[in-house]
Amino acid sequence: MNATPSHQALQPEFRLLVLLVSIGFFMQGLDTTIVNTAIPSMAAHLNEDPLNMHSVVVAYVLSVAACIPLSGWLADRFGVRNTYFSAIIIFTLASLGCGQSDSLNELLAYRVLQGIGGALLLPVGRLAMLKVIPRAQFLSAMSLMSLAGLIGPLIGPTLGGWLAEAATWHWIFLINIPMGILGCLITFKAMPNVTEPSVQRFDLWGFLLLVIAMAGLSLGIENFASTSLSLYWSLGLICAGLAAAVLYALHSHTHQNALFRSKLFNNRVYAIGIIGNFFARLGGNAMPFLIPLMLQVAFGFEPFVTGLMMIPTVLGSLASKPIIRPIIQRFGYRNVLLLNTLLVGACIASFALSGADTPLWLRALHFFIFGVLNSVQFVSMNTLTLKDLPQQDASSGNSFLSMIMMVSMSIGVALAGTLVNVFSAFFEAAQITSAFHATLICLGCINLITAMIFWRIPKDTAV
């Protein structure tokens, strides 16, 4: 049977472009997960406490979140090819810098730079495909590209653990270099430099307010338990972040050229979806950082074994994909999100029941179930949030959702690291397992707040 006009097979002349965007998607996805299993090895080499290494994850994710609003404007102003090529160069050079770092501060500086490049890779690549590939072939192109996004998180934890054990942790960054070089070589052949004839003036003040809000909240929470910084410093950062968020809310209401206009939140379902996404991801997105750390620091597992143990979570996520839509169609967004939110919270808290002697089959099953529940949660939230947006708000609404997802991950990892340190001081170093368990229970309880948010979803919300 011939393909319908809306679902045509991808033509050969666009395959190189899809390969190029897939390289960027793979690099960005890989670097979000590959660090997690190597953190204890990095801490040992840099003479740092592994419980204080969450800043390595926060620095990358936070800079990604901060630069997402820049991506579309830069691509329109300077062209998709120039912007994408610059992103690959920045990401690759920053990866080289990370791999050569000899101190935590040096590593953090390069991680921020790496996040800036990573923030541009996926949005600009997807925008290039949208502008170049005919609509009838776009679904096929996105399906092929999404495979790269699945492979990165699938192999990231295991590859990171193996490299930390077989070579040194530096190689988790250095492996980006050959992929970056390949991407640079393909860019000028596969991607035309499409620009927009007229581009609005960039909302610099709004951008700065968003950066201050995100950085203030994330860094304030991250340093809350720090012994080297005053508690007042952390409280000051959090207050500055909250103040900047309030100022941006006013700015978005009055400024005609704001990055994200306040009218987006006139859509009730979108507003509920954004707030629910933020709170739901605090626990779910902290787990890929917290669990490998607990397995190695508290239970004494090797990095490679730790990476292997994370595979069932990704397999659970993949296995859930075919069933999510039928479940939502059968029970509706409200019922699915209410029940699944509570199940995810209970699953996160139930990791507090595990110990170093937990049977391998039971641990793998636990991770698999968490992967299934987490995937149902994220897909349901995302589709609910965007489904009723009018066409003129779709691009802005999607960008804001992407930013909130990364901010929530940043704050979630910072919160997890801070809680572990607080409970470590309370339980003392000899009871480090108890500190992790208490942290998991706290992260799971956050989903009670999320369930109250999703309770506000109108009962008649259509699928």
Task: From 189, 217, 235, give the residue that closes a domain.
Answer: 189
Whether residues 237 and 172 fall in one domain: no
- Residues 332, 327: Cα–Cα separation, whole Å: 8
pLDDT of residue 425: 84
Instruction: Specify whether 364 is located in the same domain as 333.
Output: yes
Distance CA 17, CA 39 (A): 34
Q: Does residue 198 fall inside a structural domain? A: no
Judge contact between 171 and 37, C-beta under 8 A: no
254 with 266, same domain?
Answer: no
Of 159, 189, 219, the position where a domain reaches its end is 189
Question: Does residue 196 belong to any structural domain of this protein?
Answer: no
CA 53 to CA 35: how far, in whole Å? 11
Last residue of a domain, one of 143, 158, 189: 189
Cα angle 302, 224, 118 (rounded to 5 degrees) comes to 60
What CA–CA distances, in Å, run from 39 to 34, 104, 238? 10, 11, 26
Shared domain for 404 and 348, answered yes or no, is yes
Q: 265: Cβ–Cβ under 8 A, 6 or more apart, which residues?
A: 271, 274
Mean pLDDT of 150-173: 87
172 and 254: one domain?
Answer: no
Asked if the structure places residue 302 within a domain, the reply is: yes
In a shared domain, residues 402 and 275: yes
Instruction: Judge whether 325 lies within some domain.
Output: yes
Whole-prediction pTM: 0.87
State pLDDT tens for residues 200-230: 888 899 999 999 999 999 999 988 877 777 8
Same domain, 26 and 122: yes
Residue 438: CB atoms within 10 A of its CB come to 19
pLDDT digits (tens, 9 = 90+) for 290-316: 999 999 999 999 999 999 998 999 899
Is 302 in the same domain as 379? yes
pLDDT, greater one: 388 or 433: 433
Instruction: Tell me, yes or no, whether 245 and 338 share the same domain.
Output: no
In whole angstroms, give the CA distance from residue 369 to residue 350. Answer: 11
Distance (Å, whole) CA 326 – CA 380 = 11
Phi-psi region of 421 (alpha: psi -120 to 50; beta: other; left: phi over 0): alpha
pLDDT digits (tens, 9 = 90+) for 57-82: 899 999 999 888 888 888 888 888 89
Residue 368 lies inside a defined structural domain of this protein: yes
Instruction: Report in angstroms the alpha-carbon separations of 446 from 279, 280, 341, 371.
Output: 7, 8, 10, 18
Per-residue confidence (pLDDT) for residue 5, from 0 to 100: 45
The answer to whether residue 5 is domain-embedded is no
d(CA 310, CA 308) in angstroms, rounded, equals 5
- 55 and 175 part of one domain: yes
Q: Which of 40, 130, 122 is nearest to 88 (CA)?
A: 122
Q: Please check whether residues 177 and 57 belong to one and the same domain.
A: yes
Residues 247/383, Cβ–Cβ less than 8 Å: no
Confirm whether 420 is domain-assigned. Answer: yes
Give, in order, the Cα–Cα distances in Å from 194 to each of 15, 16, 156, 255, 311: 18, 16, 33, 28, 39
Looking at per-residue pLDDT, the higher value among 329 and 390 belongs to 329
Which of the four pLDDT bands, split at 50, 70 and 90, describes residue 385? confident
Q: Please check whether residue 371 lies inside any domain of the structure.
A: yes
Longest dimension (CA), the chain: 68
Identity of residue 386? L
CATH of the domain at 88: 1.20.1250.20
Q: In the prediction, which pLDDT does 24 show?
A: 84
Structural domain count of the chain? 3
Question: Token pair for residue 378?
Answer: 């994220």
Q: How far apart are CA 463 and CA 456, in angstroms?
A: 16
131 and 220: one domain?
no
Domain hosting residue 219, numbered range: 204-258
| Average pLDDT of the residues in 90-108 | 93
